[in-house]
Amino acid sequence: MGVFVPFLIGSQMLVTVANTTPSLNVAQTCRATGSITGSAPSQDDIDACVRDEQEARNAVAKEWGEFSAASRIRCVRTSKDYLPSYVELQVCLEMARDAAKSPSEAQLKTLQPLPQEPGPVRRHLRHRRRASSDYRLKA
């Protein structure tokens, strides 16, 4: 029974994360960008970063219900690891959604290949062969 209780508490935390848009401290992330680039960011840089993060947060909040619970949990976890970022969260969620929509390898194998036509390189090479043989005949 002792192992079961932490599992329930942990699973409730995951469900909570999965049902609501997370709150990230992006101001700290935007201020910390100077340590990454090696130079202190200007206030304009920090303001632009915060605006980008707010736009990404709004986009994530608007589409939050469209993402799978597993993707939300995984992407929230990874976007909080180093410097929390809504831009990173948005990209992660969109990539997960797009990957889920892509056809599987089994589906790709069932597709019929398009008929192959000689490309311009092949036509060009045939043309060169004819031109060089014509040249040899004349010479």
If we measure between CA atoms, which residue out of 20, 84, 95, 85 comes closest to residue 53? 85
Mean pLDDT of the chain: 74
Confidence of residue 33 (pLDDT cuts 50, 70, 90): confident
* Residue 19: inside a domain: yes
Percent of the chain having pLDDT more than 90?
A: 28
pLDDT of 51 reads 93
* Residue 43: inside a domain: yes
* Residue 111: inside a domain: no
Range of the structural domain that residue 60 is part of:
4-104
* Residue 35: inside a domain: yes
pLDDT tens, residue by residue, 87-114: 999 999 999 998 888 777 666 667 666 6
Res. 15: pLDDT tops 80: no
If we measure between CA atoms, which residue out of 103, 97, 101 comes closest to residue 67? 97
* Residue 109: inside a domain: no
Q: Who has greater pLDDT, 82 or 35? A: 82
* Residue 120: inside a domain: no
Q: How many domains does the chain have?
A: 1
Contact 27, 43 (CB under 8 A): no
The angle that helices 43-63 and 86-101 make with each other, rounded to 10 degrees, is 40
pLDDT of 82 reads 79
Instruction: Provide the phi-psi class of 40: left if phi over 0, else alpha when psi is between -120 and 50, else beta.
Output: beta
Helices and strands (DSSP H and E) totals, the chain:
7, 0
* Residue 52: inside a domain: yes
* Residue 118: inside a domain: no
